[in-house]
Structure 1
Amino acid sequence: MREFVFALEYESGTNPVADVLADHPETSIRSLSCHASADSLWRVDHAEGTAEGLEALERAYGNDDYFADCLVNDGCGTSCDVQELDRSSDELVVYTYWERTDVCTSVPHVALEHLGDGLLFETYREGRRYRWRIVLDDTAPVHEFFDALGDEVGGCTGIEMLRLTELDPERTPLDPDADRSLPNEQREALRAAVEHGYYETPRRIDLSDLADRLGIPRSTLSYRLRRAEAELATAFAAADAETDDVLEEITTRL
């Protein structure tokens, strides 16, 4: 078995849930289950974040233009059944279901058509980035699927392949820190912070001024820098531990 991980990147106005997550960077969504048949799709998602972010998500889920994972942007003639299964001040669990029309399609449906049955899907969403992990057979034509998916998402949604590896039972499934490629927003924030001297001692710019230069709220910039720093620190610690293991093995042999 192999795991294939890729990410979609929605542009503003092309997906109501992505718009909410971009406006509320402390809010994220992880799939608890995701299933598709030839003529329908159903899933359960767990969202966590601020009260304002979850309220905005509820409105997005109730929007008539929202269809869970449907890649058609100009209406597909179906309706999405949305039910809240659990709700608290900082968590939301939502069930969604829709039946396909002649024009409906989605990531799972493209996968079924090109990769066959028996697939496992996991997803994680934050900001405009939507990461998918598919567990599939070793012989499945992954590149054929990825090319077909690229044709379906069109020009309003970016798509990026992150990894295709043997299934690793030790890997944490789609943990937000599991993939070391930083989302564009975090990469741009980090690059700007370095260029303008935010990390110098003493600092040449404070967080508020840097946020003004980038045209984003101070809280959003702070969140993006914290997430980028966490990913880089985690990657460094993992690499450092691996280096120590190699050195210990060499020393033992000597």
Structure 2
Amino acid sequence: MGSESISDESYGTTMADGPPITATLAVEPPPEADCVVVSATDDVDIQDHNLTFSRSTGNGDLEDGTCNTKVVEEEEGVFSDRYVRSDVASGCFCLVFHEVDCVPSIERVQGNRIVISVLLPDRETLRELVSRLREGGSSVDVYGITQSNVEGTESIVMDVTDITDKQREALMVAVEEGYYDTPRNADLEVLADRLDISKSAVSQRLKSIESKLIHKLVDHWSID
């Protein structure tokens, strides 16, 4: 599924406010921000990310903060965890999320872009969030918006931009070989031979995709 760029004008006039929403954004911080998440990683999964603050300025601003990120990297079929930690600078785009009282969940780094999922109370907050990010010099695309409608039926946009090419290839081969059939017509050894990688690498790639898709569904249902 490709990304969908939504301008301030388009979603500002056509989206009606309603129940809470989950938005997936692709944010490219301005070069001068020197974002440690972008500079320290390249096309990797983000396992965990959080900001911590030791004190505030007293007027609502935050300072003395620390950015903590755990990334999962793959090299030649071997997966490893790495922690990235830095001080929060005044120009950090993550601060914008806290200014509008919502918490970002960084899912993936794609080159200079960071794919972020965020739970918002309404679409007006989304408009304000995107506006503030752009005012700070960030490039922002809206990849997907999920919301339950008032009749109780569901509408969901499944964002798959955080699935890597290697993971997608593994999933396609698994489906072709009947790995997900009942009864199962292929095992990890068959998939490993097709992909010319180890069984553990195949297993990790499939588990990563399954985890992402399952969490997206659960996150969607949890805000109904």
Q: What is the TM-score normalised by the length of structure 2?
A: 0.46
Mark the structure with the bigger radius of gyration: 1
Higher strand share: 2
Q: What is the TM-score normalised by the length of structure 1?
A: 0.42
